[in-house]
Amino acid sequence: MTDAGEQPEDIDPAERLAANAAVHKNAWSETIDEMKASAAEYEEDGWESHYVAALDTAPISADQARRSRGDYGWGLVHTLPDNFTDAFADALERGSFPEYDVFRRLVDGRVFHLIVLRDPDERIALFVAGNYRLQEAEGCIATARREGEVHTWLAATDGTVVGTVRHGTPSKFFPRWDDFESFFGRDEDGTGPGA
């Protein structure tokens, strides 16, 4: 997956909105297609694989997590369709998922990602597709930079936690990791020109 450029400034706002919707729809469709193809490859290699396109992906900062009333900590919270929660809960209970990959692209301000969680001992692979607006991830990225880790949360539509996995290389998850301060106008502690 690669990052896509921004659109020219001289486009009518209504046309820009329609174009963005089409571009985002295509990017989401491509992400789901890539997820299904990857899951099929793992199955062909003898892995148990499960895949899901999240209904919603919310990048949550430590401050947001402290203020919320849910069971969630901070990180990327993926809301799963209810008919997927049992299979994912069962797999997460049986596996530890120490290995992971993240494939992502930034398309007109929106991040589309595929997270692949692997337990090589149990030979279980979980594939989670999600998308979110990069601007909404500022606090989550700042927390990940400060803590040196990020968490993937999977939740049911009623908010019940299906499972969580901690990742020690948060830079895999977020675009603008290396130029965070210049892009968001602050550092991870909330100081800087834009803070």
Asked whether the whole model's pTM tops 0.85, one would answer no
Q: What is the pLDDT along the chain (195 residues), one digit of tens a residue?
A: 444 445 455 656 555 555 578 888 999 999 999 999 999 999 999 999 999 999 999 999 988 888 875 667 899 999 999 999 999 999 999 999 999 999 999 998 899 999 999 999 999 999 999 999 998 999 999 999 999 999 999 999 999 999 999 999 999 998 777 777 767 775 555 544 444
CA distance 161 to 187: 31
Question: Which residue, chain included where needed, has tokens 């199955």?
Answer: 43
Residue among 34, 33, 6 at smallest CA distance from 20: 6
Alpha helix (H) residue ranges in 1-67: 13-44, 62-67
